[in-house]
Each structure stands twice: as C-alpha cells, then as structure tokens.
Amino acid sequence: MADGQARPPHLKRRAEFLRVASKGRKAPSPGLVLQALNRGDDLPVRLGFTVTKKVGNAVVRNRTRRRLREAARLLLRETPALGADLVLVGRDTTRTRPFGTLIEDLRRGLAKLGVIVQDRA
C-alpha cells in the first residue's frame, strides 16, 4: 500500500466464505450485509467481499466491491478490530448509497455483531 500500511488479510477460498455464512452471524443494513464469525483469537480481522450477479454486470459488481473495500479500509484504519472473519456482501443500493452512510452501516453492523475493537493506546 502507498501509505506504508500492510494490507489486511483477506478471505480467499470459497470454503472460508461458506464457513462465515453458515456458522457466523449476520447484520443486514440498507447498504450492505455484514457477516461475522468470531475466531476466538487476538489476530486482526480477515476480510472478504462478495457481490452477486443480481446487482449487475461485472463493471457494476466491481465498482460495488471497491466501495465496500474502501469503506472497510477507512473504518478499520480508524478503529482496528480483532479476532473475527468478516464478509461484506454488496447490495444493489451499495453503489448509490452516500459513502459516509455506507461507512456508518458498516460501523453499526460491527457493533451489533460484537466484533472486538482494538484499543488505540
């Protein structure tokens, strides 16, 4: 990354996404659906992003995914979280939702699911 920060670890394999979806908890909001699975450790969160074909063609899905990625990057840089795997699912409204509101949707989802926020001491 350009600012010298290491990129947060990502979920890569389909099995990891399916495990979060089946065993984790969900927090739906107008801008996104947040799925979280507590790992029970003190390692940084791992992120995964997904957008279904219902949202649109590849260009629209990629734009939606980029908005989710940037919202997560900004929020987790401000308040790092620990011990969970997170999947952010893009919705049709993710693309048109005001960016500040999208970040607020994510913040509320993290609080609702009780994802541990790291102290900034």
pLDDT digits (tens, 9 = 90+) for 29-85: 999 999 999 988 888 899 999 999 999 999 999 999 999 999 999 999 888 888 899
Q: pLDDT confidence of 119, banded at 50, 70, 90?
A: low
Residues 6+ apart with CB under 8 A from 89: 32, 33, 34, 35, 50, 51, 52
Question: Does residue 28 sit within a domain?
Answer: yes
The C-alpha angle with vertex 107 and arms to 19 and 3, in degrees rounded to 5, equals 90
Specify the pLDDT at position 41: 85
Residue scoring higher pLDDT (67 or 8) = 67
Diameter of the chain by CA atoms?
Answer: 44
Question: Does residue 94 sit within a domain?
Answer: yes
Residue scoring higher pLDDT (33 or 6) = 33
Identify any residues that bridge with 35 across adjacent strands, giving them in sequence order: 26, 87
Question: Does residue 5 sit within a domain?
Answer: no
Angle subtended by helix axes 99-113 and 58-78, to nearest 10: 60
Domain total in the chain: 1
Q: Does pLDDT of 8 surpass 80?
A: no
- Give the percent of the chain with pLDDT over 70: 89
Question: Does residue 24 sit within a domain?
Answer: yes
Tell me the average pLDDT across 96-117.
91
We report the CATH number of the domain holding residue 52 as 3.30.230.10
Question: Does residue 8 sit within a domain?
Answer: no
Tell me the average pLDDT across 96-118.
89
The C-alpha angle with vertex 55 and arms to 103 and 110, in degrees rounded to 5, equals 25
Question: Does residue 109 sit within a domain?
Answer: yes
Domain hosting 65: range is 14-117
